[in-house]
Structure 1
Amino acid sequence: MATGTAQQSGLELNRELNSIDAWWRAANYLAVGMIYLQENPLLAEPLRPEHIKNRLLGHWGSSPGQAFIWAHANRVIRHHQLDMIYLSGPGHGAPGVLAPTYLDGSYSEIYPDKSQDAAGMRRFFKQFSFPG
């Protein structure tokens, strides 16, 4: 597979795809957490009813697809040094777009109280559809 000006070895490609898969799974976890969790964001203790939001908003179904496109678009951007953006329409698919921005750190730059630690993740999850 050609990547810019260099050929990627099978091992390099495998590492890259494993990294993309791990990123995609993390983005999906964040999207699920935004929809369902108000406490215990890292599942540090067994899940209990009080950890679940009372009001569930957002559609899980669109989140994995949006994160998949985001992950692979980033790969194409890096490999071909492209200048492009990801545009997603409004609606209940917000977790599928907000999760990647939290994961890459840009959400926390704009909203510092949603830091990239357990406390920030709890606030990130809880604020979506709050008061939930």
Structure 2
Amino acid sequence: MQAGPLSSDELRRMDAYWRAANYLSVGQIYLLDNPLLKRPLTLDDIKPRLLGHWGTTPGLNFIYVHLNRVIKERDLNMIYVCGPGHGGPALVANVYLEGTYSEYYPNIPQDAEGM
């Protein structure tokens, strides 16, 4: 178990994961297509009805990345329980990033097509 503040490398990696989870979350909330922005966005790329709420997403992603750190560091037997509602895209983004989503749904690959 680590005592003291997190290393700058650990903070950098956690921040990168958090930003990736936020990116995937916002894509789920707003986009139908073009998740990597390989071309300028058009109205055809935007969902007509939004599911999820951006206001809850970054906080849920923040909790997820920090809980994962503590679970791994201390070998804890715990899970993060969160309601599906507005925060659903956050949890889907995290399990997609860690690979669990594609394990359960093999038709959703961890690539641009899966996004």
Give TM-score, length-normalised by structure 1: 0.81
**Structure number with higher helix proportion:** 1
In structure 1, the gaps of 5 or more residues are: 122-132
Q: Equivalent of 1:87, from 69, 73, 81?
A: 81
Corresponding residue number in structure 1 for 2:62: 68
Which structure would you say has the larger Rg? 1
| TM-fit CA distance, 1:41 | 1.0
Matched, 1:101 2:95: yes
Matched, 1:39 2:33: yes
In structure 2, the gaps of 5 or more residues are: none
| TM-fit CA distance, 1:90 | 3.1
Corresponding residue number in structure 2 for 1:48: 42
The ranges of structure 1 where at least 4 consecutive aligned residues each deviate by more than 6 angstroms after the TM superposition are: none
How big is the alpha-carbon RMSD for the aligned residues of Structure 1 and Structure 2? Answer: 1.6
Work out the percentage of aligned pairs sharing the same amino acid.
Answer: 56
Give TM-score, length-normalised by structure 2: 0.93
Deviation digits for residues 58-111 of structure 1 (CA, Å, limit 9, x no counterpart) = 111111111100000011111111111000023121011111011111001111
SS of corresponding position for 1:118: coil
